[in-house]
A and B are shown apart, each in its own frame.
Chain A
Amino acid sequence: MIDAFQFLWPAFLVAVCLVGIHAYFGIMVLARKVVFVDLALAQIAALGATVAFMLGHPAQSIATYGYSLTFTLLAAVLLAFTRTWGTRVPQEALIGVIYVVAAATAILLIDRAPQGAEHLKQILTGNILTSGLNDVAVIVPVYATVGLLHWLLRRWLTGAGSLIWEFVFYATFGIVVTSSVAIAGVLLVFSFLIIPATIGVMFATSQPGQLAIGWIVGTFVSAAGLVASFFLDLPTGATMVCAFGASLAFAGMLYPFLRGNRGQAVYTAIITARWIGAVILAGSALQLAAAPRADQPIIDMVEYAIPSLRTLYFTRAETTTFADASEHAERYRREAEQLNEVERRNRTQGQALDDFSIARISSFLKSYGEMRKGEQFVMGEVRVRARERVRWGASLGLLAFALLIAPVSWRLLWVRAPH
């Protein structure tokens, strides 16, 4: 627990800073309908860094940062103009073009540089987990300055302005995105930008209200994502993005309850849930009847969660064979792991194994692998045959269950039928 806290709190601090500025920019970006502008700016900044790298500047030098900044400012000019061009063509189309061309140019450039691909990858896939207080020390002054500037210029920066104000908006946004993408990566920065702002816009009409909701949601979901990634042993950035996605889905489901006729919302929710359940059950019934040897996602999932369900349709002989094969497969896996472990320990301890013994170990490992595969085949075959045997009864049962769940009033049909 202390371990987790020690590891996660710098990342959490960084996340709070990022949510602080990005929720605000997200609201602005949503109002301007330029959702993907952050990707374009990040890619342009990466292109600038790549050019600097090609000219021989080290990765984290002032010169590299200068190139990134110059490229970003140039892109800001371009983006400010797209607003005026964007009368017939949607602005997003032009933003998309800027993004792909910047990305492709960077690929062409790094193709000529040794070690280039890794360099570009590192710019665009920051890892929030390995960020720390030194990052906070850099971003807090930058974000505070940008935030203050936007507050002072709020009369001109909110809504559509003239070219110069559009330029100021995109330039400051570019500076923010350039630093945040290097810390947290493209995917996570996009989530920070769009999801808290979207939830804010859903539930509040005034900008301060939207911002407050965005900040609260962003902070809470970041914390939840970080904790989940620790305890579920998952990569942090991807877990946080999924946590943000889940929060948006949850907010979407909550919306009709808070913003509409509550009774109607509950009714619709129940009907929808029943329809979904019925369709899924009927689908698996048909799948089981038509193709019993194919994957059965629903049945497999239920069996995975409650393995004892197998006894419902396995004969005694099948149960024994299945358990036996599973036990053997596990034994072969363990034996193989033990051999690997012996070899690994032997690298530093005791008398070194000669190549002949190593070759013997690896041929044993190969055999264990094959044997394990054989047992797994047996397990699969036993299960498939059992399913083939019971498929008609089981799929009829599932179908009946689906009809029971489906929100159709059967009694009505029944009563009307004689007329």
Chain B
Amino acid sequence: MVLRSVLLAALLALAWPALAKDRLEVVTTTTDLRSLTEAVGGSRVTVVSLVPPNMDAEEYQPKPQDVVRLKQARLLVRVGLDYDLWLDRLLMQADRPEIGRGGPNYVDASFAVAVLELRGMSVGPGDGHAHGSGNPHYWLDPRNAETITANILEALARIDPANAATYESNRDAFLGRLNAKLTEWETKLAALKSVPMVAYHNSWPYFARRFRLDIVGFIETKPGVPPSPAHLSRIVRDMRTLGARVVVREPHEPERDVGFVASKAGAKVVTLAASVGALPQTDDYISLFDVDVEALTSAVIGQ
């Protein structure tokens, strides 16, 4: 009996790689790109995200298993724009030029995205980003999914030309669903047009641009540095004069500082997910926006 189950297990272990082989193994840096890659690849791909949901991808510390994942990957999809810089060192360790920068199996999803808040090489004053490549949170504009999935589709079709038609029809179906949802979200958020808000980190310019939201300030001026009292008092003063009644926070951002500002300015804290899986029920790219739109509208209209 024992022998039989051991044999069975051994057989399964032997068969497993073969079973997995006929699916394309894709590694993405974030859960958002995982969701979008799944939308294009459908059942032809298995996708792993290196950063688990609900962790700050900008400060992610890679683990040994991540190198193993990269070594097995057929395709790598990254956010780019200096958002996942830690990936470059990991790629050096993995020693796989084909999935490295410029390699045939490497996708920088930011390619051809219209970038906001570019500041050249200089560090802009108080916008919370220390990189010169522009604001990297571009997936938070659902319209940009069209460009991102196009980048992914192009790579998948190149690696696996036999299934190119499947990938294309998958993408079309996904974009159809997304566009229907987009009109729904736009109608819902129309009520919030030019309602001033404050965010903890500058993650939302693309979101704000698409849905015409007015984010007037940020609590965190530089990543990892606690805000100075002068800055906080400016924020609170601005919030009072402009009548900002909402402070946006992501689940991994400190509750205490956000709560402090909100209570001083008489505003409400809204926790939004900036990535798939950061909040319950944000299981894929579309439900991410469903949850955020719902949280924002109920916070503002519920007042």
Question: Contacts A130-B257, A340-B117 given: A348-B214 contact, CB under 8 Å?
Answer: yes
Question: Is there an interface contact between A230 and B228, defined as CB atoms closer than 8 Å?
Answer: yes
A-B contact pairs, 8 of them (CB 8 A): A118-B252, A122-B255, A237-B226, A340-B119, A348-B194, A352-B212, A358-B209, A365-B134
Closest chain A CB from B65 CB (angstroms)? 11
Question: Is there an interface contact between B237 and A373, defined as CB atoms closer than 8 Å?
Answer: no
Question: Is there an interface contact between B233 and A7, defined as CB atoms closer than 8 Å?
Answer: yes
Question: Is there an interface contact between A347 and B209, defined as CB atoms closer than 8 Å?
Answer: yes
Question: Is there an interface contact between B226 and A127, defined as CB atoms closer than 8 Å?
Answer: yes
Cα-based distance from A347 to B251 in the complex (angstroms): 25
Q: Which of B2-10, B21-29, B35-43, B52-60 contacts A (4 or more CB under 8 A)?
A: B52-60
Question: Is there an interface contact between B55 and A117, defined as CB atoms closer than 8 Å?
Answer: yes
Instruction: Give chain B's interface secondary structure class.
Output: loop
Cα-based distance from A7 to B236 in the complex (angstroms): 10
Question: Is there an interface contact between A115 and B251, defined as CB atoms closer than 8 Å?
Answer: yes
Closest chain B CB from A33 CB (angstroms)? 32
* Interface flag for B193 (CB, 8 Å): yes
Question: Is there an interface contact between A369 and B226, defined as CB atoms closer than 8 Å?
Answer: no
Q: Which residues of B contact A368 (CB under 8 A)?
A: 120
Question: Contacts A340-B119, A373-B120 given: A115-B252 contact, CB under 8 Å?
Answer: yes
- Contact flags A363-374 to B (C-beta < 8 A → 1, else 0): 001101110110
Which of B132, B225, B237, B254 counts the most chain A CB atoms within 10 A? B254
Question: Contacts A369-B121, A370-B120 given: A7-B52 contact, CB under 8 Å?
Answer: no
- Contact flags B122-162 to A (C-beta < 8 A → 1, else 0): 10100000001010000000010000000000000000000
* Interface flag for B111 (CB, 8 Å): no
Not counting A233-B231, A347-B214, A348-B208, a sample of 20 additional A-B residue pairs whose C-beta atoms are within 8 angstroms of each other reads: A3-B237, A114-B53, A115-B54, A117-B55, A118-B56, A118-B252, A122-B255, A129-B232, A130-B232, A130-B256, A130-B259, A230-B228, A230-B233, A336-B120, A343-B117, A344-B205, A347-B209, A348-B214, A359-B114, A369-B132
Question: Is there an interface contact between B256 and A122, defined as CB atoms closer than 8 Å?
Answer: yes
User: What bracket does the count of chain A residues touching chain B fall in?
Assistant: 35 or more
Question: Is there an interface contact between A365 and B226, defined as CB atoms closer than 8 Å?
Answer: no
Closest chain A CB from B88 CB (angstroms)? 21
* Interface flag for A8 (CB, 8 Å): yes
Question: Is there an interface contact between B121 and A231, defined as CB atoms closer than 8 Å?
Answer: no
User: What bracket does the count of chain B residues touching chain A fall in?
Assistant: 35 or more
Chain A 11-29 residues near chain B, CB threshold 8 A: 11
Cα-based distance from A234 to B212 in the complex (angstroms): 33
Question: Is there an interface contact between B119 and A348, defined as CB atoms closer than 8 Å?
Answer: no
Q: Which residues of A contact B214 (CB under 8 A)?
A: 347-348
* Interface flag for A64 (CB, 8 Å): no
* Interface flag for B19 (CB, 8 Å): no
Chain B interface (Cβ < 8 Å from any Cβ of A)? 52-56, 63, 114-122, 124, 132, 134, 143, 193-194, 205, 208-209, 212-214, 225-233, 237, 251-257, 259-260
Q: Which residues of B contact A96 (CB under 8 A)?
A: none
Closest chain B CB from A338 CB (angstroms)? 12
Q: Which residues of B contact A132 (CB under 8 A)?
A: 260
* Interface flag for A4 (CB, 8 Å): yes
Select which of B55, B120, B121, B132 is within 8 A of A114 by beta carbon.
B55
Closest chain A residue, CB of each to CB of B256: A130
Closest chain B CB from A30 CB (angstroms)? 29
Question: Contacts A115-B251, A372-B120, A373-B120 given: A229-B257 contact, CB under 8 Å?
Answer: no
Closest chain B CB from A348 CB (angstroms)? 4
Closest chain B residue, CB of each to CB of A118: B252
Question: Is there an interface contact between B209 and A362, defined as CB atoms closer than 8 Å?
Answer: no
Closest chain A CB from B29 CB (angstroms)? 17
Q: Which residues of A contact B254 (CB under 8 A)?
A: 118, 121-122, 127
Q: Which residues of A contact B121 (CB under 8 A)?
A: 369, 372-373
Select which of A231, A235, A346 is within 8 A of B225 by beta carbon.
A235
